[in-house]
Chain A
Amino acid sequence: MLITCPYCGPRDVIEFTYQGDGNRERPDPASQNFEAWNAYVYDRLNPAGDHNEIWQHSGGCRTHLRVVRNTLTHEISSVAFVRGDHQGRGDHGSAARRKAEDKS
């Protein structure tokens, strides 16, 4: 199976680390809503068909990727950076970056 990393191009799956269901939303770190935390940690969408999932290109550019892959055929229909779609909600990396940009 090949995953086409937006930075590095098509690479073998062994370069990537699987991080599972990409539909889960991490609650606010200060949240004391245990139900939301439990759901985030343990509950997964597990579709037979297109699956929205997170991979890290750990053997390459190390970026986190949002991949839509069919769990019946392994066909990949889209690969995108996770970074873009998390701005402003709990993504410390982009928050820090914006802060740095504000100062400059």
Chain B
Amino acid sequence: MAEYSAFSLLANALKGNKDWKPAWRKPDPKASYDVIIIGGGGHGLATAYYLAKEHGITNVAVVEKGWLGSGNVGRNTTAVRSNYLLPANTRFYEHSMKLWENLSHELNYNVMFSQRGCLNLAHTPAQFDDYARRGNAMRHLGVDAELMTKAEIKRLIPALDISDSARFPVVGGLMQRRAGTARHDAVAWGYARGADRRGVDIIENCEVTGFLRDGDRISGVTTSRGDIRARKVAVAVAGSTGRVMQLAGIETMPIESHVLQAFVTESLKPFIDTVVTFGMGHFYMSQSDKGGLIYGGDIDGYNSYAQRGNLPVVDEVMSEMLALFPGLARVRMLRSWGGVCDMSMDGSPIITTGPLPGMYLNCGWCYGGFKATPASGWCFAWTIAKDQPHDLNAPFTLDRFHRGLVIDDKGQGANPRLH
């Protein structure tokens, strides 16, 4: 029977909520496992969950430097979408979307997935044409997309400055109705509980300090809580990829770590019931169920492992917000924070076996990793279990850069600052 149900809620409420089990145990690390996953964020936890559920591999440890979900899974702006141009990305993110659509049911945990739509605004006829092209590419692969006129956008988002006197007048937009938002903490907790109940050990406050080797083969990790051996070691550490790979002796990667900031305002009454993105800069916004506007923009633009950003980007993001929504000029910002993103050289991720024997690598999520969480875990689990990629992640290799097979959705070249 499901652990959480209307009945269990009522029964526990009557008993003073004293009988709830912790959502996951706090085990000490064992001496060895079949699989160690480094990184207890969304992707690592989802990988553990699908390893146990889809492949029956339950002798698994997830080792996390801090506390569960302390990294990017709790720092993103919660948007979920699958509106890509290139087939490899479209297929992968659409698989993710389909997993999202059933995730609360699958995990018996309410991740508050809300398909409120994601609207990309176009500000020039050329951009509108470009969106038509992307929308057609999406529909060609079975993903929903529709072009919206100015009048339709005005009805959808009354607060948007749609006038001809706007700094960058809106011409139209591309809408994906099935896109939306989810509660990011619940995603981490739901996957953690699902993995834990299937026997996975989630070991928090356990920092990996090095790798154990058996000849050429990676055979475990040294951690702040002792050595742990495993037949397979999987790395899913997002912004810390550079640091962890250096521990394994790999100095250079097609990745730069950059900081991305996010912001939330004080709570407002219902203001916007979709996710909207600005086409003349880099800005996106949605409203949480609590009422705060959640928004963000560009990365700071230079290598950073600091989980905080600098002021020029704050200034730019606010300007872009006011260009779209002049009515927000006097709304107060409550909080801002930063997360470290693993920016790849083509803007697309890496989910692969290797690069060392016994190692598996999941990285390069740029600032779009949250929406990928279910598919990333699903594909990474497949790759670890079968020692080969699934068709969905076969294009996302590490050696694609050296083989001329980059997946550059925006066509920006090897410049992470521009992805």
Q: A13-B310, A38-B402 are in contact. Are A53 and B302 (CB under 8 A)?
A: yes
- When distances are taken between beta carbons in the complex, the residues of chain A under 8 Å from B414 are 41-42
* A20 adjacent to B256 (CB under 8 Å): yes
Q: Is the CB of A39 within 8 A of B252?
A: yes
User: 1/0 contact trace for A66-83 toward B, CB 8 Å?
Assistant: 000101111000000000
Residue in B closest to A23 when the chains form the complex, CB atoms = B252
Q: Which residues of B contact A25 (CB under 8 A)?
A: none
- A interface size (C-beta, 8 A): 26
A residues 8-57 near B (Cβ < 8 Å) are 12-14, 18, 20-21, 34-35, 38-39, 41-48, 51, 53
A18/B243 in contact, CB under 8 A: no
Whether a CB of chain A sits under 8 angstroms from the CB of B215 is no
Q: A47 — which chain B residues lie within 8 A by C-beta?
A: 242, 246
Residue contact A46 to B402, C-beta cutoff 8 Å: no
B312 touches A42 (CB 8 A): no
Which A residues are CB-close (under 8 A) to B242?
46-48
Provide the residues of chain A in CB contact with B255, threshold 8 Å. 44, 46
B66-81 interface bits toward A, Cβ cutoff 8 Å, 1 = contact, 0 = none: 0000000000000000
What are 14 inter-chain pairs, A to B, with CB distance below 8 A? A39-B252, A41-B401, A43-B254, A44-B252, A44-B254, A45-B252, A46-B241, A46-B242, A46-B252, A46-B303, A53-B303, A71-B305, A71-B306, A74-B310
Q: Which residues of A contact B241 (CB under 8 A)?
A: 46
Q: What is the 8 Å Cβ interface bit string for chain B, positions 378-419, against chain A (1 contact, 0 not)?
A: 000000000000000000000001100000000000111100
Select A71's contact among B254, B304, B401, B417, beta carbons within 8 Å: B304
Residue ranges of B at the interface with A (Cβ–Cβ < 8 Å):
240-243, 246, 251-257, 301-306, 310, 312, 345, 401-402, 414-417
Contact partners of A74 in chain B: CB under 8 A: 304, 306, 310
Minimum C-beta distance from A10 to chain B (A): 15
Complex Cα distance A74/B401, Å?
A: 29
Give the complex CA separation of A39 and B402 in angstroms. Answer: 8
Chain B residues within an 8 Å CB radius of A53: 302-303
CB–CB B305/A18 < 8 A = no
Residue in contact with B417 in the complex, picked from A18, A48, A69, CB distance below 8 Å: A18
A72 to B253, CA, bound (A): 19
Q: Which B residue's beta carbon lies closest to that of A74?
A: B306
| CB within 8 Å for A48 and B402 given contacts A1-B310, A43-B253 | no
Minimum C-beta distance from B316 to chain A (A): 9
CA distance A45 to B246 in the complex (A): 9
Q: In whole angstroms, what is the CA distance A71 to B345 when docked?
A: 19
Q: Is the pair A44, B256 in contact by a Cβ cutoff of 8 Å? A: yes
Instruction: Report the Cα distance A18→B303, complex, angstroms.
Output: 9
A42 to B305, CA, bound (A): 20
A42→B401 contact, CB < 8 A: yes
Contacts of B246 in A (CB 8 A): 47
Max chain A C-beta neighbours (<10 A), residue from B240, B243, B304, B310: B304
Q: How far is the CA of A74 from the CA of B255 in the complex (A)?
A: 19
Contact residue among B254, B302, B402 (Cβ-Cβ distance under 8 Å from A35): B402
7 A-B pairs besides A20-B417, A42-B401, A42-B402 with CB distance below 8 A are: A21-B256, A39-B402, A44-B345, A45-B252, A48-B240, A73-B306, A74-B304
